[in-house]
Amino acid sequence: MGSWRRTHTCGELRLENVGETVTLNGWVQNYRDYGGLVFIDLRDRYGKTQIVFDSAIDPAMHELARSLRSEFVVSATGKVKDRGEAKNPKLATGDIEIKATSLTLLNKSEPPPFEIGTEDEPASEEIRLRYRFLDLRRPKMQRIIMLRHQIVTAMREYLNSQRFCEIETPILGRSTPEGARDFLVPSRMHPGSWYALPQSPQLLKQILMVAGYDRYYQLARCFRDEDLRSNRQPEFTQLDIEMAFVEAEDVMNTIEGLTCHVVEKVVGREVKRPFVHIDYDDAMEKYAVDRPDLRFGLEIVDITELGHQTEFSVFKNAPCVRAINAKGAAEKFSRKNLDDITAFVMEQGAKGLAWMKVEADKLQSPISKFFSDSQQTTLRQKLNAEPGDLLFFVADKREATHGPLNALRNKLGKDLELYDPNELHFSWVVKFPMFEWNEEDKRYYAAHHPFTSPLDEDWDLMEKTPDKARAKAYDLVLNGEECGGGTIRLHQFERQMKIFELIGLDKEEQEKRFGFFLEALKFGAPPHGGIAFGIDRWVMKLAGVESIRETMAFPKTQRGQDLMMGAPSEVDTKQLRELGFDTVPVKKGSS
RNA sequence: GGGGAUGUAGCUCAAUUGGUUAGAGCACUGGACUGUCGAUCCAGAGGUUGCGGGUUCGAGCCCCGUCAUCCUCGCCA
């Protein structure tokens, strides 16, 4: 007795507890001072409970209660009471209240810069990030952070049940250029040498396969020193998975099982299996993107040939003309809407946007006069156009049409409400190209990474037309966003060397960068492959938030700063000297 | 590196074509009140309009620069 320590949380007391003497701890969410009577809403992670302080019971306690303010930390003891007529249906604990007999002030609080209890965003993101300890105290943020916890818990549950084992790999590793920019850490003991933070544990997990840990996973922190976006942070978390003695379908099956388990466990919804498979080439052709949102149709149709026959010089001269038929949308777009959407598509890099409203007897458009009657008929057939439809056209080099068309298609899908925003549509995009030609460097680059195996039947293409070769690669796509990607790896030394050659990595470079890895391949590397998921993006989707920063406890701003702790920061000269630095890099603009 | 949006009280926002003493809600301080639950009522305090420069009789508003936050292109094998 006399302890301030809680007997219950602020979310659990119900009518059946009436009569019990309990102690609650928590933060003061709100106070209503009635003079002789004070009401407090006490909040913790689990909920809110109303506590009443009556001057008739203990004047000293009541006086103390009157001094409580937002976010004071208190312990209150009293009897659970039925609220009778005064129930609050908005509160899970609203049928009861605590009639306090004692109150302990555990800590005071300065008035918070924003309200903790509201569901709406209470302040600008800048203020929220600076006072992240308060922001994270908000029920809304606590729900997301807990959801994240449940997601990783469910992932571990499933993988553990499938004989996977969790193995940690180092944060301090070595730089292997190519790919994203590395974060570097200077070595004190080896002045002039640097560790690199991992962009992913790729090579180490492959080495774990060589070592015989045939089913590995890790919630791996990854680092990439590139510019930030609403879905990109310089450090993020991947669920990293690798399996030995498998082909692509084994990995995909496992991941489908994992995905279903997580979604069912966390949001209580069933996901249809098997997931749709779509070839990379088809995805690019029909949706102009390698991660199409398949919740809706709006397939893209290539009308280059027809375009060349018309008198419309833009179409006539463009290497590629592609169209989208927005079914039944003609009436929904005014001239002003069409101007807006044109501007939108041009922001995405299009040179322009042509449109036609389909009517029974004609195609209403500034450009239909350039189409002969028979061309118009062909166009209607190709696009399956019916009266009331709205056709959009983008003309450019084929690669240049992808971005604008994808953006247009996604915008139309959203604006025309062609899908249920709550649907979770998972699909696999497979058969990615092995290589991409880089015109600047006059060489091929690995499209995924250089440890990827080509399709068995495509080895023959490797010498003459490597750009036609396809990879044993698979991306997991959820509602138009890539949420995981993986490949079957090259496990034979000779074949790995072959691929390195093709991307122009000479023996010396191979040895220098990947010597340790090539060495491992010589000692009985089993066939293996794996996948990695962006955990943060999963949380975004399952929590329904638009920013990756909402899914992390302590995210960085777009300029890579932590506004709470003030990172990055300058350091003592002494620290720098120990690391072998004589001078400090000069701040931009201060020379 | 490029393009765009925003920056006014602790917080969220307002302030006519450039015009006199920059307002409101919430929060805060003091007071009243024994059944509220976004309590209510009375009174009060609170501002380097991000920062620096310029134009002007006069700048929160116009111009130049700069900083910060966000969105986006490049970038992210």
Q: Kindly state whether residues A522 and A410 are assigned to the same domain.
A: no
Q: Which residue is nearest to nucleotide B32 (CA to C1')?
A: A35
Q: Where are the alpha helices (DSSP H) in A385-534?
A: 398-415, 493-502, 507-521
In a domain, A284, yes or no: no
Q: Tell me, in Å, how far CA of A114 is from C1' of B63?
A: 36
pLDDT of residue A351: 84
Q: Kindly state whether residues A398 and A511 are assigned to the same domain.
A: no
Q: Tell me, in Å, how far CA of A556 is from C1' of B51?
A: 24
CA–C1' nearest nucleotide, residue A562: B69
Burial of A457 by CB count in 10 Å (0-12 exposed, 13-18 middle, 19+ buried)?
A: exposed
CA–C1' nearest nucleotide, residue A451: B77
Last residue of a domain, one of A88, A107, A126: A107
Q: A401: which residues sit within 8 A by CB, 6+ positions away?
A: A288, A320, A322, A350, A394, A395
Owner of token pair 């179409």: A315
Q: How many helices (H) and strands (E) does chain A have?
A: 16, 22
pLDDT of residue A249: 96
CA–C1' nearest nucleotide, residue A348: B73
Q: Tell me, in Å, how far CA of A234 is from C1' of B64?
A: 34
Q: Tell me, in Å, how far CA of A30 is from C1' of B59?
A: 42
From first CA to last CA, the distance across chain A in angstroms is 67
Q: Kindly state whether residues A405 and A436 are assigned to the same domain.
A: no
Last residue of a domain, one of A389, A415, A441: A415
CA–C1' nearest nucleotide, residue A129: B69
Instruction: Decide: A353 and A314 in contact? Cβ < 8 Å.
Output: no
CA–C1' nearest nucleotide, residue A403: B73
CA–C1' nearest nucleotide, residue A99: B35
Q: Which nucleotides of B are covered by protein (CB under 7 A)?
A: 1, 10-13, 26-29, 32-40, 66-77
Q: Tell me, in Å, how far CA of A299 is from C1' of B45?
A: 63
In a domain, A42, yes or no: yes
Q: Kindly state whether residues A66 and A93 are assigned to the same domain.
A: yes
In a domain, A235, yes or no: yes
pLDDT of residue A177: 72
User: The complex's ipTM?
Assistant: 0.93
CA–C1' nearest nucleotide, residue A66: B33
pLDDT of residue A591: 33
Amino acid at A413: G
Q: Tell me, in Å, how far CA of A568 is from C1' of B60?
A: 33
Q: Tell me, in Å, how far CA of A133 is from C1' of B35?
A: 34
Q: Which residue is nearest to nucleotide B39 (CA to C1')?
A: A32
Q: Kindly state whether residues A324 and A268 are assigned to the same domain.
A: no
Domain CATH for A40:
2.40.50.140
Q: Tell me, in Å, how far CA of A10 is from C1' of B13?
A: 34
Q: What is the helix, strand, coil percentage profile of chain A, to 5? A: 35, 25, 40
Q: Tell me, in Å, how far CA of A118 is from C1' of B15?
A: 28
CA–CA separation, A448 and A97 (whole Å): 59
Q: Kindly state whether residues A154 and A269 are assigned to the same domain.
A: yes
Q: DSSP character for A490?
A: P
Q: Is A51 helix (H, G, I), strand (E, B) or coil?
A: strand
In a domain, A4, yes or no: no
List phi, psi (to 5°) of A273: -120, 155
Q: A493: which residues sit within 8 A by CB, 6+ positions away?
A: A518, A521, A522, A525
Last residue of a domain, one of A367, A390, A415: A415
Q: Tell me, in Å, how far CA of A21 is from C1' of B36?
A: 23
Q: Which residue is nearest to nucleotide B40 (CA to C1')?
A: A34
Kindly provide the residue ranges of all beta strands, DSSP E only, lying in A83-200, ordered along the sequence.
96-107, 165-166, 184-186, 194-196
Domain CATH for A335:
3.30.1360.30
Q: DSSP character for A172?
A: S
CA–C1' nearest nucleotide, residue A113: B10
Q: Kindly state whether residues A523 and A441 are assigned to the same domain.
A: yes
Q: Tell me, in Å, how far CA of A40 is from C1' of B48?
A: 39
At A277, list the tokens: 């498979």
In a domain, A116, yes or no: no
CA–C1' nearest nucleotide, residue A546: B71
Q: Kindly state whether residues A462 and A515 are assigned to the same domain.
A: yes
What is the domain count for chain A? 3
Q: What is the pLDDT along chain A (591 residues), one digit of tens a residue?
A: 469 999 999 999 999 999 999 999 999 999 999 999 999 999 999 999 999 999 999 999 999 999 999 999 999 999 999 999 999 999 999 999 999 999 999 999 999 999 999 888 899 999 999 999 999 999 999 999 999 999 999 999 999 999 999 999 999 999 987 789 999 999 999 999 999 999 999 999 999 999 999 999 999 999 999 999 999 999 999 999 999 999 999 999 999 999 999 999 999 999 989 999 999 999 999 999 999 999 999 999 999 999 999 999 999 998 999 999 999 999 988 887 888 888 788 877 788 889 999 999 899 999 999 999 999 999 999 999 999 999 999 998 888 889 889 989 998 998 888 998 888 999 999 999 998 877 777 778 888 889 999 999 999 998 888 889 999 999 999 998 888 999 999 999 999 999 998 888 888 888 888 999 999 999 999 999 999 999 999 999 999 999 999 999 999 999 999 999 999 998 888 999 999 888 766 665 443
In a domain, A118, yes or no: no
Q: DSSP character for A280?
A: H
Pairing of strands A184-186, A194-196: antiparallel
CA–C1' nearest nucleotide, residue A202: B77
Characterize A63-86 residue by residue with b for buried, 16 or more Cβ atoms within 10 angstroms of its Cβ, and e for exposed. ebbeebebbbbbbbbbbbbebeee
In a domain, A123, yes or no: no
Q: Kindly state whether residues A147 and A264 are assigned to the same domain.
A: yes
Q: How many CA atoms lie within 13 A of A179 on its CB side?
A: 18
CA–CA separation, A39 and A53 (whole Å): 6
Pairing of strands A528-534, A481-488: antiparallel
Q: Tell me, in Å, how far CA of A346 is from C1' of B49?
A: 36
Q: Kindly state whether residues A47 and A70 are assigned to the same domain.
A: yes
In a domain, A122, yes or no: no
The domain of A372 spans 296-415
Domain CATH for A196:
3.30.930.10
Q: Kindly state whether residues A411 and A449 are assigned to the same domain.
A: no
Q: Tell me, in Å, how far CA of A317 is from C1' of B70?
A: 40
Q: Kindly state whether residues A208 and A153 are assigned to the same domain.
A: yes
